[in-house]
Structure 1
């Protein structure tokens, strides 16, 4: 037995290291050795040619030469032996585990960010300049104020949210999609808290009526926060009475995020469904500007941040090789540890597979057949 080839051993070590860096499935170690087999030793005496071999020398010599060449090739042939050692208790891991407890963690994270956003809006409302005129906006110069436009935006937003959650109920891997949505929603509202708190823009229009400032009345501020959360921060519910939450637009965030999730987790053949949802989102964004409830920069920044974070997250989630690559600069984001926690066991792209939300008990299907067999056997008797 010859020693293993060092180059092949180095490749074996790199393959084992890459398997250790993988986060999905069982741990597998592969050892590759190259073995040179010696020629077999025979004690049989050499064979002398017979008269028949002499008569048919042409064809026999050719066959003998071929046989000798084949023997020499087999004599110096190398063999590769591969040893595979599997570590782990699961012979075949589920590439798409549901892990509802992680979905619960993502929901708590999103809820905490929404509560924090409401608190920041309450704080910012107290600092909004009341006598400062609106900032110049090119869209406002071109299009006049439409009072009922913001109501159209909120109706479109509720339609998109309702369609998304209805679609999600009939998807098989709803737990994974739910926690992705909750994490992205919470992160976007966390960014919104930062931008609102750092730069407070004046009211974008004189038509807006803001609630009076409470100064140091902490109890009244808590009541406003609860009222805003109970109404979803919508104007049609009467819960959006504070000003200052302009940079960037939360309505644009929800319009964009729900549309992107609807398109990502629905069949590509349903183009008409994507077209309807896209039109709802576009009309909702335009109506925000027609209502003069947000500056144009608020809507543009909200769309840019929402779409970029959605694309970054799903690029990392759908490409397994990028997760452990040192050249993946998306892993430098601050939320990469949270991403690794949520997506550690998701080892493949989430397919668009529909399933009934409430599983049907198998006993409902077996009992009728069993009763029918009993009745039939009784009749035969």
Structure 2
């Protein structure tokens, strides 16, 4: 190498004549690329400079997998417990004492507020409106699969608890105005018809399907009003205060009207709200605080913790308030698969 450098220094004129460049200093043919090759390299770099793009995977999308099959499992779980609730209502109805022999228990709220006939209709209308609002919000949410399985699991668990409380303690009717259907005793076929009637009418009094008594502790209407409001508020932008206030008013008025109509004891409503709100907060605390899943704590002592780990194992971050159209057009299968590569193809053609 030393001899080559020496040659370059000793014969600058020859090197200049060899490459045909303009005068301005000696150029060594050993250290400099050939002129034609250098031009091709510069041309290639200039051509590809605007088209070379490296796409990195979206980390958030990978940390929030849809897993619709889990959502389907929780839907079946909720549906089973709703059906079980109707069966339990039919069973408990046979044990409710007659109001003539067992009058309503004393209730402090009833002592001060007289019954309003149309109040329970307001409760059920508000409940249907909240369920409709939540259904639309869920449909347009980007991560609707995660929200769906959370909602179905909590609703199914709450109605499972309700089956237990109804069965172990049967309260007398809360008001003398209530008219209960006659008891069927051992007629299993008639009981089955009542279960199907209750399911077909969604368990609502305004549909005429709820003609049985005994499902007092705790209030299922309070569960649905509270649960839908909590989900609406949790998975909507914090700046939508007017939206949250409207839904809160619908839920609050609905709960109060349950008592104004004398359809439930006050303790039914209080217990229903407490269990629903606590279960919602416990579940979402564990879902949103990742460290609580790996480290032992009192929240992991719940019986449903293994189910929680199964449902939330792959959800590694808090679900953001992100919305999109539920159906895109044209579908991905009809889009041109070569469109995203058009720039690369144009470079190759050049």
**Bin for the TM-score computed over the shorter chain:** 0.7 to 0.9
2:62 matches 1:94? yes
2:97 matches 1:129? yes
Corresponding residue for residue 224 of structure 1: 194
Deviations 1:53-85 (A, max 9, x none): xxxxxxxxxxxxxxxxxxxxxxxxxxxxxxxxx
2:157 matches 1:187? yes
Distance in 1 of aligned mates of 2:73 and 2:243: 31
Corresponding residue for residue 359 of structure 1: 328
Corresponding residue for residue 177 of structure 1: 147
Deviations 1:109-143 (A, max 9, x none): 00111111111110000000002100000000000
Give 3-state SS (helix, strand or coil) of 1:248's partner.
coil
Distance in 2 of aligned mates of 1:323 and 1:213: 49
Q: 1:172 to 1:91 in 2, by over 3 A?
A: closer
| Per-residue deviation, 1:218 | 0.3
Distance in 2 of aligned mates of 1:141 and 1:325: 49
Which structure 1 residue ranges, 4+ long, deviate > 4 Å from structure 2?
90-93, 362-367
Count of aligned pairs between the two proteins: 278
Distance in 1 of aligned mates of 2:178 and 2:238: 42
Corresponding residue for residue 117 of structure 1: 85
Which protein is richer in strand relative to its size? 1
Corresponding residue for residue 287 of structure 1: 257
What is the TM-score when the length of structure 2 is the normalising length?
0.77
| Per-residue deviation, 1:351 | 0.4
What is the TM-score when the length of structure 1 is the normalising length?
0.71
Corresponding residue for residue 251 of structure 1: 221
2:69 matches 1:104? no
Give 3-state SS (helix, strand or coil) of 1:94's partner.
helix
Corresponding residue for residue 238 of structure 1: 208
Corresponding residue for residue 139 of structure 1: 109
Corresponding residue for residue 348 of structure 1: 317
2:104 matches 1:162? no
2:316 matches 1:333? no
Deviations 1:323-357 (A, max 9, x none): 0112x111000000110110010000000100110
Distance in 2 of aligned mates of 1:366 and 1:177: 32
Between the two structures, name the one with larger relative contact order (CA 8 Å, sep ≥ 6).
Answer: 2
Q: Which structure 1 residue ranges, 5 or more long, are not aligned?
A: 1-89, 370-381
Distance in 2 of aligned mates of 1:244 and 1:149: 20
How much is the aligned-residue C-alpha RMSD, in angstroms?
1.7
| Per-residue deviation, 1:359 | 1.9
